[in-house]
Structure 1
Amino acid sequence: MFSKILIANRGEIACRVIRTARRLGIRTVAVYSEADADAQHVRQADEAYCIGGSRPQASYLRGDAIIEVARRSGAQAIHPGYGFLSENADFADAVEAAGIAFIGPKAASMRKMGSKAGAKELMHAAGVPVVPGYTGEDQSADVLQREADAIGYPLMIKAAHGGGGKGMRIVRSAAEFAANLESCQREARNAFGRDRVLLERYVEKPRHIEIQVFADAHGHTLHLNERECSAQRRYQKVLEESPSVFLTQELREAMGSAAVAAARAIDYVNAGTVEFIVGQDGRFYFMEINTRLQVEHPVTEFVTGLDLVEWQLRVAAGETLPSRQEDIRQEGHAIEVRLYAEDPEAGFLPGSGKLERLRLPLGDAHVRIDSGVIEHDTVTIFYDPMIAKLIVWDRDRPRALARLRDALGQCDIAGPKSNIDFLERLARHPAVVQGTIDTGYLDRHLDEFVQSSARDEAVADTDLLLAATTVQLLTQERATRVAARASADPGSPWAIADGWRLGHGGHRSLAFLHRGLRLELRTHGSNGEYRIEGVGSNDATPTLSGARLEGDSLTLRIDGRSRRFTVLEQGRRVVVHDGEKRLSLEPVAMYRHEQAHAGSGADRVTAPMPGRVVMVRATVGDQVEAGQEVMVIEAMKMELSLKAPRAGIVKEVRAAGGDFVEADAVLVALEA
């Protein structure tokens, strides 16, 4: 076994590899960019070295710098994690040439899978089912159009090199093909440096099921059963679980055998994932092999009881696989979701900023947190905005879903916006609960998972609004009592926080901001007994009684009906949770009106976040229509389309292709 390894990655995967290495007594070396000098993976490793600037191209994609650090530090092996250089065959070759072990497959195996077109042909020859399509080298638009028409619609255009959901388009008619082809090729060229595409029949309402495979250098190959990843948005997985509710035991065994055959066809060694698309009729087709450890590997670890990183290390060190196929167990049910700094209400726009508050559940036998950040760390604009992976396990799927919902209810993030609300709705949605979700369901029904109106939510969740208001009232009263006890006249009637004044009944006015919407309430009473005006659209004045705030638990009676809430934060925000949903309010001064950020105005298009201009679609003097794309920028591994806010004539274009722009910078202006 190795005594020291280098981890050529960052964030939660680097921290996760460090945990296993420390348990095995292996010292770890981290590498980091200038933006990551204070990152958790740097702090947790035994030693760490800066390898360049903040952008990945200047640091984590610099294979030569990483290998040099491995040499200097005496690391015997390099673990690439996932992303960055993990599936770069040239890097794997360079590592081996330097006399350092690569903790992953051989470069030759990667190259066989590096082209989706070549991979399909190879799998077909090995007897692995593949989707009908075109993988030819002739990439002229006319040939691709002709082949698409022959395959039939709907079909999928896919970048032949790359992954992660980039360079993929669904085309439903011949008339849509040319425009989608151009867009797909451009995205592939920007993301992977090559614009070759392949075409394949699109399977309607498919399931995405992948098989974890492992192989050693001694000729042993096995699989660790499946993970279902059908809950996806724009080809990005948002919920992964094992086992799949869709598979019968017979289908599971057939897919497992096909996955092992696929791995053997490319002489695979170490951890890999064979991804299949499965039709409603149970027919399955090969999609690709991910030649690395997957983000969702913890669900497999939960149901098998194995440490896949430990297996990776042992195989890379020349050992045989620790188990045989018949020894692999599948116990209970595990589910993973990913907490991201993103705004689902703004099209899942990635976010960045300091994590002013990060509350996550404590890990135990049922709940696992994999994270690369802690409270007060910063989510930067340079990398994927994932905050943490939340993984749960229980004896069966209903119990696991209950664990997931409970764990999500304990999460709270302040600073950048997050997708917690979205995940809570996902975990309770009938399509997820019943296990009927397919890969396109979220995109077809996104409005069922994303709250679009802050006002509607505030009115609809009357009990949550009353609970949050009560928390604020009780907190004010507690603070007033503390201040009174410290004053020269602690018995003064003016030190009582009930709003009473000489000549009229007591009342207090409160104001909150909720996602930019201002809410104003008028309250009467004190000490847990209140009447509140301004709640809802009718003239009702709810009566609250018996309100008690003990720790993070609020109990009260609303018009005689007893309720209990969890208080996730009280202070700069008031966040309450009723066991199913949450409400977050920001207390503000009653007589000062905060103006919410308006984004792009009627006469301009602004950058929603820092990024690089990929393409400029408009020039000065152009007549544009409302919603017409005028510019494309790339930020946080994502391409963002910026559109004209109204019809008009372009007056100014303030950025060119390749420019880096700051958030809120005006990029295009229209004539008044």
Structure 2
Amino acid sequence: MAELSRVLIANRGEIAVRIVRALRDAGLTSIAVYADPDADAVHTRLADEALALPGTSPAETYLSIEALLDAARRAHADAVHPGYGFLSENADFARAVERAGLTWVGPRAETIEALGNKVRARELAASVGTPLAPGSDGPVESWEDARDFAQEHGLPIAIKAAFGGGGRGLKVARSLDSIESSFIAAQREAEAAFGRGECFVEKFLDRPRHVEAQILADEHGHTVVVGLRDCSLQRRNQKLIEEAPAPFLTAEQEERLRAGAVAVCEAAGYVGAGTVEFLVGEDGTISFLEVNTRLQVEHPVTEETSGVDLVAEQLRIAAGEPLSVSEAPAPRGHALEFRLNAEDAVHGFVPSPGTVTRFEAPTGPGIRMDSGVRTGSEVPGAYDSLMAKLIVVGADRQQALSRARAALDELVIEGVATVVPFDAAVLEHPDFTAEDGFAVHTRWIETDFAEDEAAQERMTDRAAGAVLPAHGGAQLRRFGIEIDGRRREIALPAEALALLAGRSGPAGGAGEGAGGVQSDRAQFGGNGGGAAGGEDSGAQASETAVTSPYAGSFVAFSVSDGDEVEAGQAVAVIEAMKMESEALAPAAGTVRLRDLAKGDEVAAGQVLAELA
């Protein structure tokens, strides 16, 4: 049995904080690592020790095996916990940790390798009788091969990274014309996220639910399904709201899901915590999706409904001890998890990095907050947008929903845009809240919800009260006033308040106020808003300018200089917080591209191209 004493956490943000707390419970020393943008992050403050990783980009820091192992040596660590994301499903990292004489808190490298390859995982699932949607026999060589598959099996098709997970490197093509661009985008995302661009294709089930089984397996032959979760509320294949136990499944479906998960894991010789993901079609068809060989972001809902601490179990397994549970625990109550991402839900869930100027968590029965930020924390644009997770537990689903509404009303996050307005709107939607059924599916957000005007209005109304940086980086300030004996809150730009103060203040203040008028015009008068002082900001953009939807990195142009484009056509691709978005032409015309290279930093509203 391995002796664990000092554990290095090869991750950042809220999952690093979660692991720090589990190590503290176990009486073990926690060692955090951090890149320059995370020097003052919460996980570095809470850990027993924190070591710097030289560099600023993910490739230089959290994705650098050499840098992480060097930190482990400097800290005299005897184990490494990878968390999720980054290198958590990288077999080379697991193997390097073991070669360095350290304990890897996760499945064996060969298991990660076998199941991390989605093609091999499908083959393994087929060998144990798990139902599967049609798919390619292996990675396809070109987009033409993907088109041929679609012509044989029908549309839509999913183009998926063979060595990825978490929705990265996954694109759905719904027409033959879109296959080429979807294939190229999937390859590009896969290469950027996982270092390998191979992709396979499979038939895409329309309107399915996403249901997953949480597995624990030790080296003593015990494999247990701790619980089932529903993770159907997704956008861009990124989960936003999850719950446990998965509602509205038949007893037969639950049994098939549990049996299929155990069969795949036992066939792979699985040891550790992991998740087997399935799609459940409208007709009840169950189709194996993949195995995530790591802890999941949504693991808290299973912990709250099973009574099992999954991180503590990971530590037990890594130490060679048997599981603390010998059979599947009966679910108790119901839990919902809301991912609190720094994304502007109202404007297409675009990334919203920045400073969290105020963070106040809700309290009360059934409330858990797993957070990587607090008031004053920076949310860097180089990393994932997840700031924190709100977990709400009730005696049953309806009580959990009721408590969740109250918790979201009490939650305060200011300074960055969040998905909370979306969460609040979902909790008022009958597709999600009905007591007699479940109408959401993996594309519900982009289809049913997006087309529901009442739901969109609820989301917009909720976002209207948020305190965020205004266009050009101006900060909104909220304060209370009394109207007819009732307290109300209003929000005004800080510059406007300064202007008012300048006009009514002493001599000299008026001059500053006058300057403020010009500043306000520059920042708020533009088409779309941009960074104050930024070259080609939104204020300088015209109706014939193609502008960046947010601050980030330039990826590529989708057209060539001099091309004729239509209104709404994609002209460029921008990336931030591991997400790509398209900059669209506001009108038809001949496009003139600006001089930009891949990796160039761009400001929100910056002009990328102009239309003649």
User: SS state of the match for residue 87, structure 1?
Assistant: coil
2:405 equivalent to 1:402: no
- State the Cα distance separating 1:658 from its structure 2 match: 3.5
- Of 639, 643, 647, the residue aligned with 2:588 is 647
Counterpart of 1:254 in structure 2: which amino acid?
Answer: R
TM-score, length of structure 2 as denominator length: 0.86
| Change in CA separation of 1:376 and 1:572 when aligned onto 2, cut-off 3 Å | farther
| Change in CA separation of 1:457 and 1:7 when aligned onto 2, cut-off 3 Å | closer
**How far apart, CA to CA, are the structure 2 residues paired with 1:354 and 1:142?**
45
Aligned residues of 2:146 and 2:179 also touching (Cα < 8 A): no
Larger Rg: 1
- State the Cα distance separating 1:143 from its structure 2 match: 3.6
Counting only pairs closer than 5 Å after superposition, residues 50-129 of structure 1 correspond to structure 2 as: 50-129=52-131
Counting only pairs closer than 5 Å after superposition, residues 577-656 of structure 1 correspond to structure 2 as: 589=500, 594-595=520-521, 596=524, 598-599=527-528, 600=538, 601=541, 602-656=543-597
2:513 corresponds to: none
| Change in CA separation of 1:646 and 1:437 when aligned onto 2, cut-off 3 Å | same
**How far apart, CA to CA, are the structure 2 residues paired with 1:366 and 1:12?**
19
2:304 corresponds to: 302
| Change in CA separation of 1:45 and 1:65 when aligned onto 2, cut-off 3 Å | same
Counterpart of 2:527 in structure 1: which amino acid?
Answer: A
Counting only pairs closer than 5 Å after superposition, residues 371-520 of structure 1 correspond to structure 2 as: 371-434=371-434, 435-445=438-448, 446-448=450-452, 457=461
1:6 corresponds to: 8
- State the Cα distance separating 1:253 from its structure 2 match: 2.0
Aligned residues of 2:216 and 2:271 also touching (Cα < 8 A): yes
1:26 corresponds to: 28
- State the Cα distance separating 1:42 from its structure 2 match: 0.4
Aligned residues of 1:341 and 1:385 also touching (Cα < 8 A): yes
Q: Can you list the C-alpha shifts for 1:165-184, whole angstroms capped at 9, x where unaligned?
A: 22323333445434433333
- State the Cα distance separating 1:300 from its structure 2 match: 0.3
- State the Cα distance separating 1:457 from its structure 2 match: 4.8
Greater mean deviation of Cα atoms: 172-181 or 21-30: 172-181
**How far apart, CA to CA, are the structure 2 residues paired with 1:196 and 1:378?**
34
**How far apart, CA to CA, are the structure 2 residues paired with 1:234 and 1:159?**
14
Q: Can you list the C-alpha shifts for 1:283-302, whole angstroms capped at 9, x where unaligned?
A: 21110000000000000000
Counterpart of 2:452 in structure 1: which amino acid?
Answer: E
Aligned residues of 1:345 and 1:450 also touching (Cα < 8 A): no
| Change in CA separation of 1:5 and 1:442 when aligned onto 2, cut-off 3 Å | same
Aligned residues of 2:346 and 2:459 also touching (Cα < 8 A): no
Aligned residues of 2:565 and 2:585 also touching (Cα < 8 A): yes
1:344 corresponds to: 345
| Change in CA separation of 1:670 and 1:143 when aligned onto 2, cut-off 3 Å | closer
**How far apart, CA to CA, are the structure 1 residues paired with 2:431 and 2:353?**
31
2:588 equivalent to 1:659: no
Which consecutive segments of 4 or more residues in structure 1 shift more than 6 A?
A: 449-456, 512-516, 569-574, 585-588, 590-593
1:283 corresponds to: 285
Counterpart of 1:128 in structure 2: which amino acid?
Answer: T
**How far apart, CA to CA, are the structure 2 residues paired with 1:249 and 1:56?**
44
Q: Can you list the C-alpha shifts for 1:137-185, whole angstroms capped at 9, x where unaligned?
A: 5524444332222222233222222122223233334454344333333
**How far apart, CA to CA, are the structure 2 residues paired with 1:125 and 1:586?**
68
2:188 equivalent to 1:259: no
Aligned residues of 1:422 and 1:450 also touching (Cα < 8 A): no
| Change in CA separation of 1:641 and 1:586 when aligned onto 2, cut-off 3 Å | farther
Specify every segment of 5 or more residues in structure 2 that has no aligned partner in the other structure, as ranges: 472-480, 504-515, 529-537
- State the Cα distance separating 1:303 from its structure 2 match: 0.4
| Change in CA separation of 1:190 and 1:63 when aligned onto 2, cut-off 3 Å | closer
**How far apart, CA to CA, are the structure 2 residues paired with 1:617 and 1:175?**
15
- State the Cα distance separating 1:611 from its structure 2 match: 2.5
Specify every segment of 5 or more residues in structure 1 that has no aligned partner in the other structure, as ranges: 469-511, 517-526, 531-543, 549-553, 555-566, 575-584
Q: Can you list the C-alpha shifts for 1:223-282, whole angstroms capped at 9, x where unaligned?
A: 112000111112111110011222122321221111011111111111000000011222
| Change in CA separation of 1:159 and 1:340 when aligned onto 2, cut-off 3 Å | same
- State the Cα distance separating 1:640 from its structure 2 match: 1.5
**How far apart, CA to CA, are the structure 1 residues paired with 2:116 and 2:79?**
23
User: SS state of the match for residue 133, structure 1?
Assistant: coil
Q: Can you list the C-alpha shifts for 1:402-455, whole angstroms capped at 9, x where unaligned?
A: 011110000122111122111100112111102321112111022438976799
Q: What RMSD, in angstroms, separates the aligned Cα atoms of the two structures?
A: 3.0
Identical amino acids, percent of aligned pairs: 43
- State the Cα distance separating 1:74 from its structure 2 match: 1.8
- State the Cα distance separating 1:309 from its structure 2 match: 0.5
| Change in CA separation of 1:399 and 1:627 when aligned onto 2, cut-off 3 Å | same
- State the Cα distance separating 1:57 from its structure 2 match: 0.7
2:214 corresponds to: 212
| Change in CA separation of 1:570 and 1:630 when aligned onto 2, cut-off 3 Å | closer
**How far apart, CA to CA, are the structure 2 residues paired with 1:366 and 1:93?**
40
Counting only pairs closer than 5 Å after superposition, residues 190-339 of structure 1 correspond to structure 2 as: 190-326=192-328, 328-339=329-340
Aligned residues of 1:651 and 1:669 also touching (Cα < 8 A): yes
| Change in CA separation of 1:106 and 1:172 when aligned onto 2, cut-off 3 Å | same
**How far apart, CA to CA, are the structure 2 residues paired with 1:227 and 1:456?**
29
**How far apart, CA to CA, are the structure 1 residues paired with 2:26 and 2:490?**
42
User: SS state of the match for residue 527, structure 2?
Assistant: coil
**How far apart, CA to CA, are the structure 2 residues paired with 1:456 and 1:164?**
28
Q: Can you list the C-alpha shifts for 1:512-548, whole angstroms capped at 9, x where unaligned?
A: 99988xxxxxxxxxx96x6xxxxxxxxxxxxx4xx15
Q: Can you list the C-alpha shifts for 1:560-579, whole angstroms capped at 9, x where unaligned?
A: xxxxxxx7x778789xxxxx
Aligned residues of 1:80 and 1:86 also touching (Cα < 8 A): yes
Comparing both structures, which one devotes a greater share of its residues to strand? 1
Aligned residues of 2:169 and 2:187 also touching (Cα < 8 A): yes
**How far apart, CA to CA, are the structure 2 residues paired with 1:33 and 1:270?**
28
**How far apart, CA to CA, are the structure 2 residues paired with 1:252 and 1:454?**
34
User: Between Structure 1 and Structure 2, how many residues are aligned?
Assistant: 566
Counterpart of 1:661 in structure 2: which amino acid?
Answer: V
**How far apart, CA to CA, are the structure 2 residues paired with 1:129 and 1:407?**
39
2:511 corresponds to: none
Q: Which structure is richer in relative contact order (CA contacts within 8 A, separation 6 or more)?
A: 2
User: SS state of the match for residue 621, structure 1?
Assistant: coil
2:367 equivalent to 1:367: yes
